[in-house]
A and B are shown apart, each in its own frame.
Chain A
Amino acid sequence: MTVLFLLPLLFLAVLSTLTSAAPDSDYHEGLVLQPLPQSSLLASFNFRSNTSQESFEQRHFRYFPRALGQILQHANTKELHLRFTTGRWDAESWGSRPWNGSKEGNTGVELWAWIDAPDDDGAFAKWITLTQSLSGLFCASMNFIDSTRTTRPIASFEPAAHHSSSQLHLLHGTLPGEVVCTENLTPFLKLLPCKGKAGVSSLFDGHKLFDASWQSMAVDVRPVCPESGECMVQIEQTVDMVLDIDRSKRPRDNPIPRPIPNEQLVCDTSKPYDADDTCYPLENTAEKGWSLQEIFGRTISGVCPLTEDENPGKETVCLRVPHERGVITSPGASETRNPDGLSRCFNLEPSSPFDLIIPEQEALTQVPLDEPALSAERTIVGHGQERGGMRIIFDNPSNSSSVDFIYFETLPWFLRPYVHTLQATIIGRDGIRRSVPVSQIVKETFYRPAIDRERGTQLELALFVPAASTVTLTYDFEKAVLRYTEYPPDANRGFNVAPAVIRLLGLRDQAQSYEYYSPVYIRTTSLLLPLPTPDFSMPYNVIILTSTVIALAFGSIFNLLVRRFVAADEAAALTAQTFKGKIFGKVVALRDRIKGKGSKVE
């Protein structure tokens, strides 16, 4: 167990040391760095401040950002969680997620909040107020979270323990297509007391942050009531990112990974064909060397002086490398080694810049990575314009324990699932595929069908995966045909389907021994759904328009050509002839009638 949840434990441990003293309002920040396999580096920034409930309500903001506080009060929001995420966490290489996945969101923007309102409609109105305001605050398109993208999950999220009101409504919205970039980082930094000028937040550089392989920014506001003392409103901002060390070390003025010169190639000289012009490359097994300056482009400029500790800068920066790894720090910083032998923290000098240099070194021991308790993959299968299928694969790597979890997905209304086609297959380690009734896997289902153009589908399943097996869930869906005006400008790209959220259950017992109960979340990747798309291209529009106009023009010209208008005086001869013809015609008609009668008589 100690190994299994080491990384989250460390975060929790850091947190618990930091939160031991709880004055009226306080502020803490921290940075944890951990090298990951494949020359990656995980950097977890955490900024947290508490404000007493009373001063929050009286709008005495000290560390709590005023802009956000006013929005929350205006929208009656008691708890808020906002996530900006790009990229995907490579659980296969990097192990389990930082903060157990509780501080990350869907690709794009994810937002959920508990709103105090008397009824559902009131809550939704406040929700719209909230999204509109946050949209302005964070320069993100959160105003597009309308009723079709809003859901009310039942079991996937739980509010913090200490809410005073009982009329709380949980609303959840996602924007999977939103691109997170610097315009979202700047407002995020402005919420910090030191605004990225001092402390660990001074490392934030848009160029580096958004060059990360995976990054997630989170804002959490929740009420916290310690056993002793008054309730507080806590705001926690985290930034987690996985940087590619090679890529980040490239200078900004020459970022192109050109082929390296011949003489710098590392070749396997044991190969018989090895020559000046032939090289079988050897992959570098040594741990990459790096420094903060190289990775982030700058150093930590001192300590944020607002940190209300008896010793500001104490254990602000932590590094998870084995103790035998050599680390060079800026003068003035002191090092505290953890007794587990795998991590160390640094006490920063308040006013001098801090840098951390790790030279390249052959790796002897590795920091063990925790294996995620469950891995999930969701893909769209089938092809064609009309139908498709969703396939979700849950893999439980553990050989002993089954995993219980809540699977939650929201589907846009134009993707119409057929829930009756929901099927489950279990594949054990022996590779034999067994179809099982869905009820055997799924313990509970909450399903809220979509209404066209009003709300999306909400599907929450409580299910479990037996030990050492893989469960595949499949269901079919139908693709709706949108109205002409409902297509976005890039209709042929496909439509984003928000990732599914998985909340693992059953880990509560292990986690409750700590002060903070931290649930484990996993999110799948988002999907691209190709819909039947009309041809919006110019030639076809022109063809349609032209055909209409030609039809009109042809009609009138044809009319003009075929119809003959004869003036009254011109038609004198004609009428005479017609008259004659008429008489003749009548005679003929008469004759035929007589004949016809005769034949009838016969």
Chain B
Amino acid sequence: MTTPAALPPLPFNPSRVRSYILRLPLFTRLVLLAIFAFWILELQKIWSVVQWGSLTPDEIGLGSMYRLNTYPFIHMGFFHTLLNILALTPLLERFEAEHGTLTSVALFIGPLSTLPAGLYLLVEKVILHRNTPVIGASVWAFLLLGSEAVRTFKSHPYFSIGSYKIPTWTSPLLACVFASVLIPNTSFLGHLCAVLVGYLLGLGYLKVFVPPEKILRWIEGKLNLLGRLPHYVSVDQKTYGRYGVLPTANPVGDRPTPLSYLGSTQLPTRNLRRNPHFLFIRLPYLLSFLCIVVGVIWLLLLPLNEYSRRTYISENALLPGQVHAYFSGSEQNIFRGYKKELEGLLIGGAGDNGGEDGVSGEVEVTPEASEKVQSILRAAGLKVATQNYEYTSAGITHQGQNTYAIINAPRGDATEAIVLVAAWKTADGELNTNGITLALTLARYFKRWSLWSKDIIFLITPDSKSGTQAWIDAYHDMHPPSVQPLPLKSGALQGALVVEYPFDHRFESLHIVYDGVNGQLPNLDLFNTAVSIAGGQMGIGAVLQEMWDHDDSYEARLETILRGMIKQGFGYATGAHSSFMPYHVDAITLQTKGEGWQDEMALGRTVESLCRSLNNLLEHLHQSFFFYLLMQSNRFVSIGTYLPSAMLIAGNFTIMAIALWMRTGYYAGSSPSTSASAPADEKKETAQKEKDASPAKTDASGVMERQLALPLTFVVGLHLLGLLPLYIFNNLSHQYFASAVYTCILADILLPLTLAALLTHHSPSTSTNAIPQHYLLIKSLSLLLLGLFLSTLATLNFSLSFMIGLLCAPLTFTNRTTSTSVLRHIFSTIGLVILNVLSPPVVLVGGCWWAGVSVESVLTLAAFGWDVWGVWTQVVVWCVWWPAWVIGCALLGSSVF
């Protein structure tokens, strides 16, 4: 028995929520408003609202009796407010609808606040002799739950779980227990008092407080409250209120005639459901937009104290900074000796001009220097081996020789190992003589200790980009043929530290770099240990993400997060440590920065202490977080808090895709004439009109067959086409990159237009009236894929998903416009220009221009990342973002033709 303009049954009906909120009676609204207002008031720090209005047993005196009334309105923070509002609204609304606004005011301002408060004070102060302040509207929620429970008990005394019969009146007590167990800092006693008063209310013992009906009527009549106040529930409307109807799953709209007993309050819902235009065309846009806005705001909220946490050491075995570091004294003489020895063997003479000048010059690492490193390590009693490697990427050959040496754990069995890396060239390309020398000195020093439970591997690589990658690949036997296998091995790697000290003067602070390839991060415990040892034990400040002066302000925190997100999103290796991450080996780089009074021995002691901490590990680092955003060296947000942000943005595409899918199946053609902003009555009329007029086109538009062949081919084909630029950009020689990008930009302008022209001019011959549906289906499928990919990606690489999501956000709102107005062409052209600005190659060029780097170098790095590091950011760009963008452009472009 389908009816005209049938609506698809929605599992969750958003219109019902909207109507519910619109229907809220007066007193409920006022209470919610007050709660909200107090929450806003709390945001300022000058006057503590909580302290002013909370129910603190010791503060209660004659002058502060107001607290007995104010405490339900005041909350601790956003979540407390939100939860209490959610819990209170339905209960309070029901109460008011049943008893009328005036009675509610009288009861809730009076006895229903003061009685539980008094009871609480009595127990807390007189019996327990404690002083726990309580606040929050949960007292009313539990009070009302209590009274509801008593009434339920009268009609329905038990509910049974299995063979047990549980009296229904206990349910608020259970809720009370659950709440106090699950949510921290809830006052069990306060809730219990509320429930008790609620029982009294439900049993009718509090009827004395209800003002007589006569007086109420008199007031109501005198003041004409019913006429003056909106949403006022009159004394006469009370008793049963609207509860004649049981909410049912059967959609009301399916009934052919409106049912008279529904009452006036149901009208907005009905109108909404009667107005498919709003539901299918306007609402998805609103929801999608809301998702994006909330997603962005969510991210912006993260730096606040309420949403971030202080870091802490989760793995107890680490014991950072609990041992004395002995690396000092005569070891410094040896350090100097090694350094002079190495400097003498370098071409370009870093030792001659020294300092910053020396490192910026072209210094070649000679084979003699490498030989010397090996001989020093061998003389220190370590087992030394070398590994040659060669990589070719974008026409550039990277080759080198890794030298590494192993200290066997004195009583160990080569089951576990720690890696200490020093590269001749730092991540910034500077000569790292001090770092290398420090590693050599530490190797000689560590060899003397007998306490190592894990092997220690000293790895000296020629550069920070490819050396560690070649080594770690070969360590796990996953290396390409151009890389030699390792002649010497140890056990499972437990952690890796990279040391960089590329200048000759003393340093001020340690810069800890932690980003891995593809946005993988090391276990937070490793970072925390480094911060704790550097800061706590050695007195060296630790900074991150190149935030040299972090003043702990909101802006600085946000900037740190954003810098971290950009690095994570690009997914390139930020240092020699990054290559370890794909093998689940936690690694960080320690870089010395600034001009201060810390010398190489301080860095050496930090490394020693870090190695001692890692040496303590019984298990692989697993206790702490692997997904986090750091905003300061001792503050972070974990995945549970930040993930919704990217998920909401990815969800906006899915919402739109589902709406479009339904629209193509049930509701043919948009009717732009229907105005969603029309008043309710009008809407009702138009809906009626539509309904009357619909029988003609019912069968066509009610349930419609989707023609999927063309849209599916189109979307899948474009996604496969993305492999072409992916291949080209990863295999081109580096000198052609710039021209390739500009060709790509040009192609990106032409391709959507060509596609649009093909779509508009070719399809009509095959089938006449299904064309609008085709466009919608193409968009739906494309957005569906986009939403799917991005939400999956958000769990792997949050930042990349977030960035691509934001760049793709306009695609939700681009559409084919078919109106006949002249403006159509202008608007579509402007839209096309805007979209072209957001195309992947243009964003790349723009980003490079903004950052001041050449496009060629970025693409060379990207190709290197693809070939050597295994970065898959390109796949996301060319096979997820680019196809979605082309489809969006083509749809918009089709309105030009």
Contacts and interface: CB of A to CB of B under 8 A. Distances in A.
Per DSSP, chain B at the interface is loop
A212 B620 contact: no
B413 A525 contact: yes
A588 B240 contact: no
B622 A492 contact: yes
Interface string B130-166: 0000000000000001001101101110000000000
Interface in A512-563: 525-528, 530, 533, 535, 537, 546, 549-550, 553, 556-557, 560-562
Interface string B364-381: 000000000000000111
Nearest to B240: A570
Contact of A260 (B156, B330, B491, B584): B330
A564 B243 contact: yes
A278 B477 contact: no
B247 interface: yes
Interface in A192-250: 210-214, 244, 246-247
B618 A490 contact: yes
Contact of B326 (A244, A258, A264, A537): A258
A134 to B, nearest CB: 22
A88 B408 contact: yes
B155 A565 contact: yes
Nearest to B244: A574
Given A528-B416, A556-B171, A265 B410 contact: no
Given A261-B330, A383-B584, A530 B492 contact: yes
A577 B244 contact: yes
A383 B476 contact: yes
A550 B83 CA distance: 13
B606 to A, nearest CB: 16
B415 A244 contact: no
B478 interface: yes
A375 to B, nearest CB: 12
Interface in A447-491: 490-491
Contacts of B91: 561
Contacts of B145: 560
A550 B182 contact: yes
Interface stretch (B202-210, B332-340, B549-557): B332-340
Contacts of B151: 565
Contact of A381 (B154, B410, B416, B477): B477
A492 B620 CA distance: 6
Contacts of B414: 88, 525
A428 interface: no
B692 interface: no
B257 A588 contact: yes
Contacts of A560: 145, 148-149, 152, 171
The winner among B240, B379, B444, B620 for most chain A CB atoms within 10 A is: B620
B307 interface: no
Interface string A250-266: 00000111111110110
Nearest to B415: A528
The winner among A280, A527, A546 for most chain B CB atoms within 10 A is: A280
Interface residues of B, number: 71
A279 B449 contact: no
Given A259-B445, A556-B171, A389 B477 contact: yes
Contacts of A530: 492, 620
A562 B246 CA distance: 9
Contact of B450 (A244, A274, A556, A557): A244
B705 interface: no
A565 to B, nearest CB: 4
Nearest to A391: B477
A277 B256 CA distance: 99
B383 interface: yes
Contacts of A277: 332-333, 336
B619 A256 contact: no
A492 B330 CA distance: 40
A556 B172 CA distance: 10
A308 interface: no
Interface residues of A, number: 79
A493 B619 contact: yes
A156 interface: no
Interface string A264-284: 110110010110011111010
Contacts of A246: 448
Contact of A492 (B256, B415, B491, B619): B619
Given A87-B411, A87-B413, A577-B244, A247 B450 contact: yes
A360 interface: no
Contacts of A564: 243, 246
A379 B618 CA distance: 20
Contacts of B336: 273, 277-279
Contact of B178 (A496, A549, A570): A549
A382 B476 contact: yes
Contact of A271 (B255, B340, B408): B340
A546 B184 CA distance: 13
B489 interface: yes
Nearest to A542: B182
Contact of B341 (A265, A280, A491, A596): A280
Given A281-B444, A565-B151, A382 B334 contact: no
B47 interface: no
Given A87-B410, A257-B449, A283 B476 contact: no
The winner among A565, A573, A577 for most chain B CB atoms within 10 A is: A565
Given A278-B337, A588-B257, A259 B326 contact: yes
A107 interface: yes
B477 A262 contact: no
B411 A278 contact: no
Contact of A281 (B171, B334, B619): B334
Nearest to A379: B489
Interface string A347-383: 0000000000000000000000000000001011111
A560 B415 CA distance: 58
Contact of B620 (A493, A546, A596): A493
Contacts of B448: 246-247, 257
A535 to B, nearest CB: 8
A520 B865 CA distance: 49
Contact of A262 (B174, B333, B412): B333
B42 interface: no
A8 interface: no
Contacts of B445: 259
Contact of B152 (A211, A265, A565): A565
Contact of B411 (A86, A92, A267): A86
A31 B248 CA distance: 92
Interface string A78-99: 0000000011101010000000
A381 B152 contact: no
A279 B330 CA distance: 9
A601 interface: no
A419 to B, nearest CB: 19
Interface string B261-294: 1000000000000000000000000000000000
The winner among A88, A278, A380, A588 for most chain B CB atoms within 10 A is: A278
Contacts of B12: none
Nearest to B314: A537
A560 B240 CA distance: 17
Contacts of A493: 618-620
A-B complex: 3 closest residue pairs judged by Cβ atoms: A381-B477, A280-B337, A492-B619
Interface of A: 38, 86-88, 90, 92, 107, 210-214, 244, 246-247, 255-262, 264-265, 267-268, 271, 273-274, 277-281, 283, 377, 379-383, 389, 391, 490-494, 496, 525-528, 530, 533, 535, 537, 546, 549-550, 553, 556-557, 560-562, 564-567, 570, 573-574, 577, 581, 588, 592, 596
14 contacts: A86-B413, A88-B412, A211-B410, A213-B411, A268-B337, A271-B341, A278-B336, A279-B333, A381-B478, A527-B491, A535-B622, A561-B90, A565-B151, A566-B243
Given A86-B413, A283-B379, A491-B619, 4 more contacts: A247-B410, A260-B329, A549-B178, A564-B246
